Amino acid sequence: MNKNQALPSDARSLPWDHPRFRSWIAVARACQLMQTVLTRELATLDIKPPHLDILINLFRFEGISQQELARKLLVGRSNMSMTLPQMEKRGLIERRGDKKDKRVLRLYLTEEGRRVTQSAMAIQTSLIERTLSEEPLEQCMAMAESMERLIVRLHADFDDEAETA
């Protein structure tokens, strides 16, 4: 049997007996634990991982629209409409009208937002380095490539569902 082929249902009837299930659970648990540790470490900056996701995207894509940001983060506009005003009130971001289309709001980091983002990225990078430093670089890259392929497949399913909804 090819190692990529699915096992017959009678050979591995319980999900936890299936090697791919074990792999998936390990990835999910690692992500959950990383989020827990990251949450604790970001507390010194008074932000949470969802705030960091927004800040990093604004750092990379200054002037992105709220709708584009929601799409990148795979969250609904309602999540954005709750979180962004809090971040704006705190002085981390600014929302400005688009010059061509007044219905569109574009997002920018403030100086304080840029400072917090850089500090938060340093915290996140340090956590990743501490966590993965004992893994061979080749293994890290293989894991990244595997997860990137998975993301492409999941995006295709997600996009198909969004189109039919």
**Domains in the chain, start-ordered, CATH in brackets?**
17-134 (1.10.10.10)
pLDDT average, residue stretch 69-91: 90
* Strand, helix or coil for residue 141: helix
Dig out the tokens for 140 from the structure. 């890290």
Taking the CA atoms of 116, 107, 82 and 39 in sequence, report the sign of the dihedral they define. negative
pLDDT in tens, 82-141: 899 999 999 999 999 888 888 888 999 999 999 999 999 999 999 999 999 999 999 999
Position 79 confidence tier, pLDDT thresholds 50, 70, 90: confident
Percent of the chain with pLDDT over 70: 89
Looking at 43-57, 65-79, 129-143, which range is the least confident one?
65-79
State the pLDDT at residue 155: 84
Give the DSSP letter string of 57-82.
HHHHSTT-BHHHHHHHHT--HHHHHH
Rg (alpha carbons) of the chain, rounded to whole number: 20
Residue 37's pLDDT band, with cuts at 50, 70 and 90, is very high
Q: Best-predicted range by mean pLDDT among 11-15, 91-95, 154-158?
A: 91-95
Judged by average pLDDT, the poorest of 4-8, 30-34, 89-93, 146-150 is: 4-8
Distances (CA, A) of 145 to 96, 138, 139: 37, 11, 10
Residue 38 CB neighbours (<10 A): 18
**DSSP β-bridge partners for residue 124:** none
Task: Please provide the DSSP assignment of 106-133 as one string.
Answer: EEEE-HHHHHHHHHHHHHHHHHHHHHHT
Cα 72 from chain centroid (whole Å) = 9
Per-residue confidence band for 148, with pLDDT thresholds at 50, 70 and 90? very high
Do residues 112 and 91 make contact, with C-beta atoms less than 8 angstroms apart? Answer: yes
Write down the mean pLDDT value for the chain.
89
